[in-house]
Structure 1
Amino acid sequence: MSRKWERMVEKNRKTANKRRLKQGQERISYSGTEEVEVFRGRSWILPLVLILFAAAYALAFYGYYDQDTSFWITVACYGLLGLFLFAFRRPILRIGRNRISSRRFAGDKWLEPGEIDEIILSPRTAVIQLKEKRVRWIFTRFLHRMPIGDLSARLREYAARHGVKLTEQSK
């Protein structure tokens, strides 16, 4: 549905629910969101680098700044930032009926089928090649800890449904 239509449906649903509530009837529930399959990975390289940096910083300057509390706060913050990124900043790919979404640096980015140039699948990677600026979304089993088997099967279905070019590579 178009956004204007969705807003109109939502507005009418709210007024109908107010009227039904006054009459003692059950509310109308409508979820305008499409069903989306979510694939979650786990980023581990940046958190590992931050934790190793904190450990190296603590070992290298232990004798010089061991009495300074800001030194220990800095070491602890690097370690906590690494743990936070490992636990909460996960790579995510959402595949819906008509859209694909991924978490980028500035937030979630949604793609329509017309924006996708090609989908490249191999046993350990899944690449979504965009038409604009030759940008690629790359998801790997090693770096992103994504379930590539399930992800590849779902991307095949998406490519077949929308006529997106699909290339399968074998290694």
Structure 2
Amino acid sequence: MSRSWERKVRKNMSNVNKQRKKQGAGQIVFNADKSEKIVGRNFIAPILLLLFIGLYVILMQSAEGFRTDTMFWITIGCYILLASLFYFRRPYLTIGKDYVQTRRFTGDKRMTASAIKGISVQPGYVVIEPVKGANWVFSRVMNRYPTEEMGEKLKTFAQSNGIKYEQK
């Protein structure tokens, strides 16, 4: 399909979507990408933060001349808020037709199939090896990922994109 034709289709699609939005109907998606999202649960970072805040409270209460003022409670509240943010912001791996995407500390990262050197699956771990950069490691212990399910879906992804797949 030519690019000018795609631009015309996108422009017309945006006009149709604006009209449908005004009418209260759902939007039409052009070339909807079929992807599978596998989510885990981060529990180690929140537990460590809560243990740290508990230690902070114990040590500050035992210090001589310490007063529990407003700043003390704001600090405790902020750490509890940070722990809840880590708990409710679930880690994920999205497997698309020709890409994989996940969330890192610096934001969402997407890697195309051409940028992947290989995929290694072993009990409890899935490792995606990029051509350039650090490996993406997904662990059952750290983030409660369903690694067996991830391994099966990544196997079909690797076969369809010609990526080296290793089962250990």
TM-score (norm 1): 0.82
Q: CA RMSD in A?
A: 2.7
With over 3 angstroms needed to count, the CA separation of the structure-2 counterparts of 1:78 and 1:132, relative to structure 1, is: same
1:118-162 C-alpha deviation (Å, 9 max, x unpaired):
1000111000000013x2000010001001111110000001111
Number of the residue aligned with 1:62: 61
TM-superposed CA distance for 1:80, in Å, is 2.1
Equivalent pairs counted in the alignment come to 161
- The corresponding residue for 1:142 is 141
Unaligned 5+ segments in structure 2 are none
Superposed CA offset, 1:69-95 (max 9, x none): 21122122212211221112x211000
Q: In structure 1, what residue type is equivalent to 2:85? A: F
| Matched AA of 2:127 | V
Name whichever of 156-165 and 3-12 sits farther off.
3-12
Give the corresponding residue for 1:80. 81
For the residue of structure 2 that corresponds to 1:142, the secondary structure is: helix
What secondary structure, in the 3-state scheme, does the structure 2 residue paired with 1:102 have? strand
* Counterpart secondary structure, 1:81: helix
Contact 1:124-1:148 within 8 A present in 2 as well = yes
Contact 1:66 1:72 in 2 (8 A): no
1:129 is aligned with what amino acid? E
Could you list the runs of 5+ residues in structure 1 that have no partner in the other structure? Answer: none
After TM superposition, the structure 1 = structure 2 runs for residues 29-48 of structure 1, keeping only pairs within 5 Å, are: 29-48=28-47
Q: Report the TM-score when normalising by structure 2.
A: 0.84
Identity within the alignment, %:
33
CA contact under 8 A between 1:119 and 1:159: conserved in structure 2? Answer: yes
